[in-house]
Amino acid sequence: ENDLHGLHDLLLIGFAGIMVRPNTAAVAAVQEATLEVMKLLESLHPVPACRRAMKDIGFASPVVQITEAASASWACLPFPFSTGSFTATFSADAIQNQSQQAAARNPRVLPDARTYLGTCKDSH
């Protein structure tokens, strides 16, 4: 279950649209798709607490929804991941900040948190 910690960054990075050209229709399309993935997690996430957490996401702006979903995707797991669990994390502030996006590249799970992983325990 704890191996799903990557959903946090998947949601934020997806919404930021870092792989598409800025200020294009592609960004809006990627953001819409990310919001759809977030909504699917209400029924598809394998951890019941996470499904409940995703259902509790409010109807605020899309950025706030994604930020809340990303936070919930850590908080709902058996091990409470946080920014201190990784060498770097993609934060909500990084959605609009390319410098912060670059700083969050290639994060690693720190040893204390790694012990709580399952299949991904030995991955880098």
Residues 45-75 have pLDDT tens digits of 999 999 999 999 988 899 999 999 999 999 9
Task: Report d(CA 72, CA 64) in Å as an integer.
Answer: 12
In tens, the pLDDT along 24-46 reads 999 999 999 999 999 999 999 99
pLDDT of amino acid 124? 61
Computed over every residue of the chain, the mean pLDDT equals 93
User: Exposed e or buried b for every residue in 55-79, given b needs 16+ CB within 10 A?
Assistant: eebeeeeeeebbbbbbbbbbebbee
Which structure tokens are listed for 64?
């706030």
| Entry pTM | 0.90
